[in-house]
Chain A
Amino acid sequence: MLRCEGLRKSYNGRPVLQEIGFQLSSGAWALQGPNGCGKSTLLRLLAGAEEPDAGDIRIAGLGMREAPQRARQRLSYAPDESPVYPFLTGPDLLDFVSMAKKRPLGADVVGLIDGFGLRPFMGVRFSNLSLGSQKKLLLCAAWIGEPDVLLLDEPSNGLDLASRDLLAEHICRCSREKTILFVSHDTDFVAAAEANVLAMEDLSLGIESRNSN
């Protein structure tokens, strides 16, 4: 479902990613590596938030260059930080993503909102929410539109224990049908999500088909 080949990215002449290539089928995948090795950059490239200097990315068979809108329809991204308008409220963000994906909020998203205990904070603007609540809202937004590929950057950061367990269980359940690639060093969370660990250095070895089974 997620495939990339020959990905390269550098900032101000400093190479961050070089010749990254891999292919992931459905399953939960935990990307790990030392700080500053380019994990978040890789997720941003895969999500289309940034353009790679070179390389090809395919989401469910759709090329990010050839069919950018259709490819984005099939993926979701939850960044580690909250690059969201500070004046948005939770419903605003969810409405915006629903509008962009042309899909209503599904029962699973509503279930996540309730499970995360977000209801009392839905009227609060983003800049006044705690980091954990911001994270939860971005995670809820990631499940809108039933994406085939989910890219989550440090999804368990800032979450309380109950929410972390709920998220791990949700990832585990959804990974039977979806490809969920997330960056995390939280070994308990990775284990609870039953995720396969991917080391950053392995990804530069070229295309390698990986299956969860």
Chain B
Amino acid sequence: MRSPIPMYVRMRLRWYAKATGDVLLRNWLWCFVAGTVIPWDITFLLGLSALLNDLFARDQGFGWRIVFPLLLQAAGLAWAGAQRNAIGGGGFTPYVGTMPLSAGARRAVNLLILAAADNLWLILFVLAAAFPPAGDLYPGAFRIAALLSLLVLFLSAQLALLERNAVAMTAALAANLPLALSLTVYGGPLQWALLFAAPALAAAGFAKSRLTAGIKPTKAPLELPTSGRALKTPIALRIQFKALVETPIGSVLRFCAALGVAVFVDFLLQAFDYDSRSVTTVVVAMAFVTIALSGFYRTLRMAHASMTLYSATLPLRAGFWAIGDTLLVCLLGLPPLAILLLPAITHEVAAVPVLTALSAAFLALLAAIRLPVVFGGRRAVLYLVLLTTAWSGAAIAAVAH
């Protein structure tokens, strides 16, 4: 009898490729666009992998050696969390959970798909192992083993997230302590013992847990009894917010990115001492905020797609969701706009009518980007960048006059 595992792996990989095809294409388009600004080649990748070797830097203390792996795990969690459904195998996974496959076999398949999803991370780990930092503190074998431990902790945290396994997650996070200690205690068997204790502790987190239903393809049950307050929210807005909450990591990252750009530019304005460069900087920041928020259109569009058939039978006015989504994204653009405008107004980087016109143009741009994002198909990213670039140019020219 042939083992069903290879077939299951093939099916899961096909699903992953299908579910993330558009995302991959979009990410590569972003890389292409970024490549026109940042000259990135193997040197760029080596630079990224050198960050991993920062864990072994001579001048780092115990604090950094524990914070660094945690930051790495956080990045890995965001990476895997954003594509949880694709990695998890979709609706087919619970069905497979009813079949007589051992928990170990299913976990191995999950790890394999996770490794495929983490391909870029794995390349960085391999490069970090192949190119040791100058003046390496540790023997080569120990550094390689430490990198492997780091990789195990990285994957363990991701797997725990995908399986919603709190015990395994706690163990994966706690395992950073023996790893950090092993890098602080120089030489001797204790160093090696602590190093092996880290992945062992992370693996132990999975030992007692049973993988019964596999990775959950959808969000956890959310029982929301309708309270008086919820009923007061207009239903269309309630649906839009619920759609955004369905992809919590992506939504939070997008909004935080927009706020982060605005806050960073505030610091830049301060560094520029609010001189003549400030208005141009604000314009460019608005373009970046727009790009950061553009993903909300895609999230909302995908949510509405599930109800298109039913909505078509209701007497909704034409463009009901198009208008509603545009208003919501403009609403979400107001906090970063306020962060950008407050210092600009306070320090009079431009006349108030100019800043008012700029704000209106920013909101118009936020509304306009719905077109490339929703109707741009596979070239959505390129159209979006072209539109925001053209807008930035026009806005800078207008402000200059």
* Contacting residues, chain B, for A102 (C-beta < 8 A): 315
Assess A122 versus B226: contact at CB under 8 Å? Given A48-B312, A85-B243, A87-B243.
Answer: yes
> In the complex the two chains form, what is the Cα distance from A76 to B312 in whole Å?
11
Q: How many residues of A contact B (CB 8 A)?
A: 36
| Contact across chains for B223 and A123 when beta carbons are under 8 A apart | yes
Cβ of B310 within 8 Å of any chain A Cβ, yes or no, is yes
| Contact across chains for A72 and B315 when beta carbons are under 8 A apart | yes
| Contact across chains for B223 and A85 when beta carbons are under 8 A apart | no
> In the complex the two chains form, what is the Cα distance from A98 to B234 in whole Å?
12
Query: B199: shortest Cβ distance to chain A, in Å?
Result: 36
**What residue in chain A is nearest B318 (Cβ atoms)?**
A69
| Contact across chains for A83 and B242 when beta carbons are under 8 A apart | no
Q: Give 30 pairs: A residue, B residue, CB < 8 Å, sorted on A.
A: A47-B312, A49-B312, A49-B313, A70-B315, A72-B313, A72-B315, A76-B313, A77-B313, A79-B309, A79-B310, A83-B308, A83-B309, A84-B310, A85-B303, A86-B246, A87-B222, A91-B226, A91-B231, A95-B238, A96-B235, A98-B235, A99-B236, A100-B311, A122-B226, A123-B223, A123-B225, A124-B223, A125-B222, A125-B223, A128-B222
Q: How many residues of B contact A (CB 8 A)?
A: 31
Cβ of A168 within 8 Å of any chain B Cβ, yes or no, is no
> In the complex the two chains form, what is the Cα distance from A122 to B230 in whole Å?
13
Cβ of B319 within 8 Å of any chain A Cβ, yes or no, is no
| Contact across chains for A83 and B310 when beta carbons are under 8 A apart | yes
Cβ of A44 within 8 Å of any chain B Cβ, yes or no, is yes
Cβ of A7 within 8 Å of any chain B Cβ, yes or no, is no
Query: B239: shortest Cβ distance to chain A, in Å?
Result: 6
Cβ of A92 within 8 Å of any chain B Cβ, yes or no, is yes
* Contacting residues, chain A, for B222 (C-beta < 8 A): 87, 125, 128
Assess A100 versus B306: contact at CB under 8 Å? Given A89-B224, A92-B235.
Answer: no
Query: B318: shortest Cβ distance to chain A, in Å?
Result: 8
> In the complex the two chains form, what is the Cα distance from A176 to B154 in whole Å?
66
Cβ of A23 within 8 Å of any chain B Cβ, yes or no, is no
* Contacting residues, chain A, for B208 (C-beta < 8 A): none
Cβ of B27 within 8 Å of any chain A Cβ, yes or no, is no
* Contacting residues, chain A, for B310 (C-beta < 8 A): 49, 77, 79, 83-84
Cβ of B221 within 8 Å of any chain A Cβ, yes or no, is yes
Q: Residues 59-97 of chain A: 1 if any B CB is under 8 Å from the residue's CB, otherwise 0?
A: 000000000011011011101000111111101100111
Cβ of B317 within 8 Å of any chain A Cβ, yes or no, is yes
> In the complex the two chains form, what is the Cα distance from A195 to B165 in whole Å?
53
Query: A72: shortest Cβ distance to chain B, in Å?
Result: 4
* Contacting residues, chain A, for B38 (C-beta < 8 A): none
**What residue in chain A is nearest B314 (Cβ atoms)?**
A100
| Contact across chains for B242 and A88 when beta carbons are under 8 A apart | yes
| Contact across chains for B239 and A88 when beta carbons are under 8 A apart | yes
**What residue in chain A is nearest B308 (Cβ atoms)?**
A83
Cβ of A101 within 8 Å of any chain B Cβ, yes or no, is yes
Cβ of A127 within 8 Å of any chain B Cβ, yes or no, is yes
Cβ of B209 within 8 Å of any chain A Cβ, yes or no, is no
